[in-house]
Amino acid sequence: MENNILSCIGNTPLVQLKSVVGDNCAQVFVKCEFMNPTGSIKDRMALHIIEAAEKKGLLKPGGTIVENTSGNTGLSLAMVAAVKGYKAIFTLPDKMSQEKINMIKSFGAEVVVTPTDVPGDSPDHYVNKAKKIAQNTPNSFYVDQYHNQDNIEAHYQSTGPEIWDQTNGEFDYFVAGTGTGGTVSGVGKFLNEKNENIKVIGVDPYGSVHYHYFYTQKLVQPHVYKVEGIGEDILCKAMDFSVVNEMVQTNDQQAFSMARRLVREEGLFCGGSSGAIVHAAVELAKTLPRDKKIITLLTDSGSRYISKFLSDQWMNDHGFLNMENSLGTVNDILVNKDYVPVISINDQSSIKEAIELMKESDVSQLPLVNTKNKILGIIHHDDIFDALRSQKIQEHHPVDSIMQEALGLASLDTTIEDLYKIFYKGRVAIVLENSKPKAIITKFDMIEYLMTKEGKET
């Protein structure tokens, strides 16, 4: 018998995936964090941070908890506030589901909705809005999950040890999303201390800043994506890149498709960020022998997303369902096209080497990759011309000095309709598989495919 609901946080089960993992792949196990009291892993962090603040005298009786949140943290903090008798105010971006907003309000908390597509330094950004509210609210405590080291400590003290005990330390990879960074940093820190041979893989959605910063130490311009509760448009001090061995990227289609499969094929009622993480884990499993073990997390419940990706209508409205009249996918183009491996250049090569490679290969753009062949950006001959003409660079300078963000990125399941959006903006499409360049598709390739498709159907 528990003293209150807060005592029920943690000790979630670890379950092996069957249907979504191939027979000849590594084993994948998921820790069901959606079975925490409010339905997400954020319960762990919320309780730990609030109790730490109480011990430090930062949160006093009758005080107000203030935080910016993608929904789950707000829900967890609202539960803690209700049990402990605090008031609570939360800011959320407007892309968050109505279910999350209503659930937070049901605990008696106040919710302030802010625009999603604003720069990180805008006063309307949900982080800055929360800070302002905290400044103007007497006897308040700003949780600051993005930069609070107790976020990391929560998972170092609970999630990491639980995983270790449940597996006896017998696994090879840990795969986790990179939102605030607390989970992957805390668990990663614990695992690094226990067994440095266990690899920690971070998962970041296209549009977030973590992946590129991990490989280049440079911030790229973030852009909007639909999956919730993973990735960030700012750098967080709760994200400790030093405990991460590798980062991979996923897109909305991959996240939502896998989350729907987990519900329908595995009976695991989880959210879109869980889909992104499991997609990355399953792709990793394909590259490993059957005796290897991968541990990952199902971070929140599908109950928040009934009206979003779990709805066929919503998926259709946003172009995520392969409808009967679909024109096909990138994979369909590549199956019908004799493509050559992508010609790329290492990011530490010189401008002169890039010019020579472009001339030798008769190409006008080159993807930049690191030593692990992970794409970092792209350069065009126009970029080189403009930089040399303005005398901003010389030919001996490293090529990453003129690198542009690789915006025309696609995966094998990117639809032809989404390819059109890339071409409409005057870009080529760089096809990635496991975050590595696989092929480049031009507008002419798509035209050729569509003509071939039309010929087969007539």
Catalytic residues: 42
Tokens 């507008």 locate to: 443
Cα separations in angstroms, 407 against 177, 223, 322, 367: 22, 10, 23, 11
Pairing verdict, β 429-433 and 409-410: parallel
Q: Which position has the token pair 């993608």?
A: 70
Classify residue 399 as exposed, middle or buried by CB count within 10 Å of its CB (0-12, 13-18, 19+). buried
What is the b/e burial string over 131-159, where b = at least 16 CB atoms within 10 angstroms of the residue's CB? bebbeebeebbbbbbbbbbbbbbbbbbbb
Four-CA torsion 188, 190, 193, 195, nearest 10 degrees = -70
Q: Which residue is listed with tokens 């001339």?
A: 359
C-alpha–C-alpha distance, residues 364 and 376, integer Å: 17
Q: Are 355 and 380 in contact (CB under 8 A)?
A: no
CA-closest candidate to residue 85, choices 102, 105, 64, 101: 64
Residue type, 369: V
Label residue 119 exposed, middle or buried (CB < 10 Å: 0-12, 13-18, 19+).
Answer: exposed
Q: Read out DSSP for 155-197?
A: IIIIIHHHHHHHHTT--SEEEEE-SSSHHHHHHHHHHHHH-TT
